[in-house]
Amino acid sequence: MLSIVRGGPRTLLLRGRKEELVKNLSGRFSLEEHTLAEALDVAVEGQTILVASSGKRGGRNLWVADAPSEEILAFLISGKGKEYVDSAVLLPRLLFFRVFGDKERVLQQMTEDYDASRGTLRHILRSPRRKSTAVCFTQKALNQPLSMEDLFDEVLYIKNTGYEELFASLQNKALWYFSEGLENRQWNELEIRITDAWGCFRQQYERLRLVLEALEVGMILGEGWGKDFAHILMPIRIYKIRLFTFLSPRDVKEILIGLEYGSDGDRLVDLDLYSQREKISWGGSGVKEKNRDDLGRRMRTELLRRLDNSVRSELDEQEREINALRSRNETSGCP
C-alpha cells in the first residue's frame, strides 16, 4: 500500500538519417512523438524514450516507444534499418524514489551510501554518466502517472552498481530512507471507524481503501468488526481499520472528512479517527468553516484534486452504487 521506489523508462539516443530511421522503427514499434517533459510524463517502465538526431548540430526529436530498448537495438542490429544509424547510445536508466519532508537528508544519505554524484533532471539527456543509473525524486504517490513538474530537479547518478542490483538494494532500504526524510516527524498508528446507518459497510470500506491506496498514505495493519456507543448502553456496529502512516492525524482526518461527502454534497458515511484512543475532532486549527457540512464539501473538492482521473471515475461509480442500493432498500438498508 506504500510504494517508495519504482522503475522508469530507458532512454535511447540514435544518430543518423532521422526521417528514414523513425519511419523504419514505426513500422515495427508503436511510436508517439513528445517533448521531453511529455515523454517523462507518459513513459513507464518497459517503454523507451527514443531520441533521434540527424547529427551533432541537427535537431532532436523524441518519441515514446512501447518496447524496451533492447528490443529496439536487436531490431536495428538484425539489419532492419541499421544502415540509417550512425551511432546508438543508451542513456542512464531511471529509478523514481518517493520522499516526504526533508528530501536533502535522503539525498545526502543515499549519496554517501552509494558514492553517488549529483546532476539535474533538465540536463539528463546531456549527461555523460551513461553507465550510471539516475535516481529521480518526488513527493507524489508512485502508483499514479508522474509529470515532470512532480519531480525534483536534483538527480543522483549511481555507478558501479547494476540497475537490477540497485533496484533491489533501494527496495530493501526504501522504508529506512523514507523515514530519514521525516526528520522530527514520526510514524503514527491510527484507527479509522466506519459507521453507516444504512449498513453499506462493504461499499464504504471499498471507497476508503481506494483513496488510501491511491494516495499511498501508509499501510493497513489490520481490520475487523467492532462496537461503538452512540449513547450510554446503546452499542452500534462499526468496522475498524488500523492504519500505519507517515501523515499526521490531522492530515488523515482531512482525507476522511472529504470522503464522508458525495458528489451531491450530501453526507454518505461517518468516518471517525482515533489516535491512541483519543478521537480526532474536525474543528482543529486552520479550519475556517463553522459548519461541518461546508468543511466536508471543501475537503472533498481538495481530495478530488489529488486523485488521478481513473480513481475519481471509480469513486463516482462506487458512490452511484451506494445511492442506488439505498434507494432500492429504503427500509432495510444496504445488503
Q: What is the chain's pLDDT, residue by residue, as a tens digit (335 residues)?
A: 688 999 988 888 888 888 888 888 888 899 998 887 788 778 888 899 998 888 655 567 789 999 999 899 998 888 777 788 888 888 888 899 999 888 999 999 999 999 999 988 877 766 666 678 899 999 988 888 788 888 999 999 998 888 899 999 999 999 999 988 887 678 899 999 999 988 899 999 999 999 999 999 999 999 999 887 766 667 888 999 999 999 989 999 999 999 999 988 889 999 999 998 899 987 654 566 678 888 888 999 999 999 989 999 999 999 999 988 888 776 556 76
**174 & 193 share domain:** no
**154 & 16 share domain:** yes
- DSSP type of residue 80: S
Last residue of one domain, picked from the residues 182, 207, 222: 182
Last residue of one domain, picked from the residues 182, 197, 219: 182
**211 & 115 share domain:** no
**Three-state SS for 263?**
coil
Task: Give the whole-angstrom CA distance, residue 174 versus residue 224.
Answer: 29
**200 & 321 share domain:** yes
Residue 48 belongs to some domain of the structure: yes
Residue 284 belongs to some domain of the structure: yes
**30 & 166 share domain:** yes
**149 & 232 share domain:** no
Which structural domain, as residue segments, surrounds residue 219?
A: 188-328
Pairing assessment for the beta strands 5-7 and 93-98 based on DSSP bridges:
antiparallel
What stretches of 60-162 show up as alpha helix (H) in DSSP? 69-77, 103-114
What stretches of the chain show up as alpha helix (H) in DSSP? 18-26, 36-42, 69-77, 103-114, 163-182, 201-215, 249-259, 292-305, 309-328
Residue 334 belongs to some domain of the structure: no
Burial level of 28, CB count in 10 A (0-12/13-18/19+)? middle
**Three-state SS for 306?**
coil
> What pTM value is reported for the model?
0.79
Residue 335 belongs to some domain of the structure: no
Residue 212 belongs to some domain of the structure: yes
Q: Which three cell numbers stand for residue 322?
A: 451506494
pLDDT given for residue 137 in this prediction: 95
**167 & 254 share domain:** no
Task: Give the whole-angstrom CA distance, residue 207 versus residue 62.
Answer: 39
**132 & 53 share domain:** yes
pLDDT given for residue 258 in this prediction: 94
**C-alpha distances in Å from residue 281, one per residue of 127, 164, 235, 291, 306:** 51, 46, 21, 13, 23
Give how many domains the chain has, as a whole number.
2
Task: Give the whole-angstrom CA distance, residue 31 versus residue 26.
Answer: 6
Last residue of one domain, picked from the residues 182, 198, 214: 182
**175 & 193 share domain:** no
**C-alpha distances in Å from residue 218, one per residue of 1, 4, 98, 212, 248:** 6, 11, 13, 8, 11
